[in-house]
Amino acid sequence: MNSAPAPASNPRPPGPERNAYIDTLRGWSIFGVVCVHFAGSFVTTDSFAWSPSFYLGLILNQVFGFAVPLFIFLSGLLAGSSSKVVPLGEYYAGRFWRIGFPYLVASFASFFLLNNYAEWQKLPDLGARFIWLVQRLGYYGVEPTLYFIPLILQLYLLQPALKALPRWLHRLFPDLSPEHWVLALTALLLAGHVTLGLLCNGGSLNYYVWGRPSVLFWMFYFFAGLHFRSLTGLLSRRALQTTGGCLLLLAAGAMAWNFQHLLDRSVTGEHFELNRLDFAYVRPEMLVYDLAMVIALAAGIPLAWSLRASLVSYLGRYTLEIYLWHILVLYFGVWQFGGAKAACRQLPELIVIVCAAVAIVIALTADGLSRLVKYIRHHRVEIVEVD
């Protein structure tokens, strides 16, 4: 195995080549990630529990729970949709410079600016500090919200093998076609995803080790995206439409089930102190909701649903940058100012405005820096040609 498909999420292609529907999915997802983290800060056990800001924060925090599963699915989809073949070394180098290097920069900033350095200094010796850094950078995230980047890098590391696996199995067991091996492996990974989720939810496994940051837990979504064309090729257009509609209804029912639990004070406590929001991806109701939402939204891709370019699709072009930097922007722009949080509690609609503003500011900054780099490179080439 000495080559791999070049992922379609490599540096941004010209506008006409982009899929506005996929960019819109990515845009809503990254806006949802910001909402999950900022709006979730109002879902607290203090005196503001059951206030208007609490309810809005809870709604945003839960409804956008599908964002990370959808991101992982789309990462597999975009990686698997490229027909260009590159050497493995070039493929891995591209993933590092596109994702790994910016992640290290954001981790460095978070380490010193978000009080992680103080925690690190309290460790007893150099060995413990080294282990802390390795574990955080390679698995948990220096800042816990960054766990997604090591996870996606691990999936990209496995991508060439996951892409070729159905063909390998077909050669060993030719009675099943590669397409049927894709279906069988997807079903197996789904069973593993649900099993790990239920074990984490029940306390048999540590959610913070085997759930949220675990490549085994999330491999189902990535593999399904990687082989999405094969999976959808088994269904007719009518079947896709019917499946998508039924799953949206299922997602709505799962979310109603979720809120029935979350709003029951005999379950969550009078001050919401017994809530299990941290187990976001493994509670049964959320396992069902995430799965139904991702498949329903993904059905629009083979159905060729088209959307016009919009502000949301624009955000979808800068999902990595928004993901890496939104916590720092929220911290220094909002969280450290008591007056800003108090204003959001008095006027809950500001929560949505703040989330949108953070995403837009980071996207505009990333866009501006990208244009500046292109401008400098272009003029450097012109100067060299003149010389």
Tens of pLDDT, residue by residue over 217-234, are 999 999 999 999 999 998
User: Looking at 38-47, 220-229, 313-322, 361-370, which range is the least confident one?
Assistant: 38-47
Res. 13 pLDDT band, cuts 50 70 90: very low
| pLDDT value, residue 290 | 98
Amino acid at site 247: L
Distances from the Cα of 27 to the Cαs of 34, 67, 182, 254, 313, in angstroms?
A: 11, 10, 29, 23, 5
Compute the average pLDDT of residues 154-159: 96
More confident call, 359 vs 7:
359
Q: Where are the domains of the chain?
A: 3-386
Supply 221's token pair: 């979504």
- Look at the block and give the residue holding tokens 């380490």: 111
pLDDT single digits (tens) 241-266: 999 999 999 999 999 999 999 999 99
What are 19-35's pLDDT values in tens digits?
Answer: 999 999 999 999 999 99
- As to burial, measured by CB atoms within 10 angstroms (0-12 exposed, 13-18 middle, 19+ buried), residue 131 is exposed
Flag whether the pTM goes above 0.75: yes
Instruction: Name the residue with higher pLDDT: 341 or 175.
Output: 175
Instruction: Report how far residue 302's alpha carbon sits from residue 277's, in angstroms, rounded to the nearest whole number.
Output: 34
Q: What percent of the chain has pLDDT over 90?
A: 83
